[in-house]
């Protein structure tokens, strides 16, 4: 069994890991912080946004975009660390984000309050285009969660946690989405959360209730599994050679609990894998 190393401990509900430059960035939703961590475990808070969810992605120009779900805004972190409004998204409920190479941001929103555990309506994916416009580009997704764009900007993959599958869409020339299809049926026991892509065209997905990260091929064949000691919320490939799978994980209590994760149980974990990461985020 391969070694899963713990790089950082003592956080809350951790999500949205993104490798950028020579550091991993992740969000602590409980604290309302975006944190950067080096390979030796040294860390710093790079942004504070009181929002839950709180997801991020890197713009091609090198600036960090932050989904402020609480006030329905997409924020941009400038070079001096200040935050400005990148796009007005609208009503709350926003979740994950992924960008293509043109700077188009795909942001999804759920159609219900996840803390209630009741589904009011399906969720959607919206496009916050590079020209500042915002429009819905896909709907009828039970619980849209992690997303990733292929390195050629041709395909958006979306994890549907309640649909137990990974969906794929073609990215059109204007940023719209078409040709919706099930990229991988993961089975009713699976609950895919955050995802990332690798150089062989496979997807790693994190799974909270099953305490694992799973690598699957298109069609759903399981290629690899990393067992965890707590719920895996999201994963990202990075490190100097792209072959470190970073996992943000915490002890899950349940959506309807006042504190969904055990306080202080949020960790950043790392494990070496064979195939490097590609794509965005």
Contact indicator for 81, 63 with CB cutoff of 8 Å: no
- The token duo for 263 is 């306080």
Is 95 labelled as part of a ligand binding site? yes
165 is in an annotated binding site: no
Per the annotation, the verdict on 193 as an active-site residue is yes
Q: Is 108 labeled as ligand-binding?
A: no
- DSSP assignment, residue 172? P
Q: What's the rounded Cα separation, in Å, for the pair 248 and 106?
A: 22
Specify the 3-state DSSP secondary structure of 116.
coil
* Residue 280 DSSP one-character state: B
Q: Of 62, 61, 59, 64, which is closest to residue 47 (Cα–Cα)?
A: 64
Residue 118 annotated as binding site: no
Stated as kind and residue range, the H or E segment containing 157 is: strand 155-160
Task: Identify whether 281 is preceded by a cis peptide bond (ω within 30 of 0).
Answer: yes
Q: Which of 28, 100, 160, 193 is catalytic?
A: 193
Dist. CA 106–CA 74, nearest whole Å: 11
* 259 touches 29 (CB < 8 A): no
For residue 177, say if its preceding peptide bond is cis, omega within 30 degrees of 0: no
Q: What is the distance of C-alpha 51 from the center of its chain?
A: 15
**Hey, what's the torsion of the CAs at 24, 29, 34, 35, to 10 degrees?**
-50
Rounded to an integer, what distance in angstroms lies between the CA atom of residue 242 and that of residue 20? 11
Q: Is 104 annotated as a binding residue?
A: no
Q: Which residues are annotated as a binding site for substrate?
A: 95, 113
Residues making up the binding site for a divalent metal cation: 15, 145, 193
User: Active-site residue numbers?
Assistant: 193
């Amino acid at each position: 069994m391969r070694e899963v190393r713990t790089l950082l401990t003592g956080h809350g509900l951790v999500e949205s890991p993104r490798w950028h430059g020579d550091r991993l960035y992740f969000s602590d939703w409980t604290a309302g912080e975006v944190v950067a961590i080096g390979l030796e475990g040294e860390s710093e808070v790079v942004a504070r946004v009181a929002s839950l969810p709180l997801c991020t992605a890197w713009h091609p120009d090198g600036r960090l975009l932050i989904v402020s779900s609480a006030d329905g805004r997409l924020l941009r972190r400038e070079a001096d660390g200040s935050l400005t409004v990148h796009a007005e998204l609208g009503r709350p409920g926003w979740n994950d984000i992924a960008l293509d190479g043109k700077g188009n941001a795909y942001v999804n929103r759920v159609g219900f309050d996840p803390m209630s555990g009741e589904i009011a309506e399906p969720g959607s994916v919206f496009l916050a285009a590079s020209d500042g416009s915002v429009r819905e580009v896909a709907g009828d997704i039970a619980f849209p969660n992690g997303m990733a764009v292929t390195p050629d900007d041709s395909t958006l993959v979306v994890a549907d946690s309640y649909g137990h599958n990974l969906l794929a869409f073609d990215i059109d020339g204007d940023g719209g989405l078409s040709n919706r299809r099930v990229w991988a049926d993961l089975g009713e026991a699976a609950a895919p959360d955050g995802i990332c892509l690798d150089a062989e065209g496979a997807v790693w997905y994190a799974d909270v209730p099953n305490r694992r990260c799973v690598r699957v091929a298109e069609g759903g064949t399981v290629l690899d599994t990393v067992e965890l000691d707590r719920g895996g919320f999201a994963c990202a490939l990075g490190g100097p050679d792209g072959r470190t799978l970073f996992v943000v994980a915490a002890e899950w209590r349940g959506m309807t609990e006042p504190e969904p994760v055990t306080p202080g149980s949020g960790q950043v974990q790392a494990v070496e894998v064979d195939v490097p990461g590609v794509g965005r985020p």
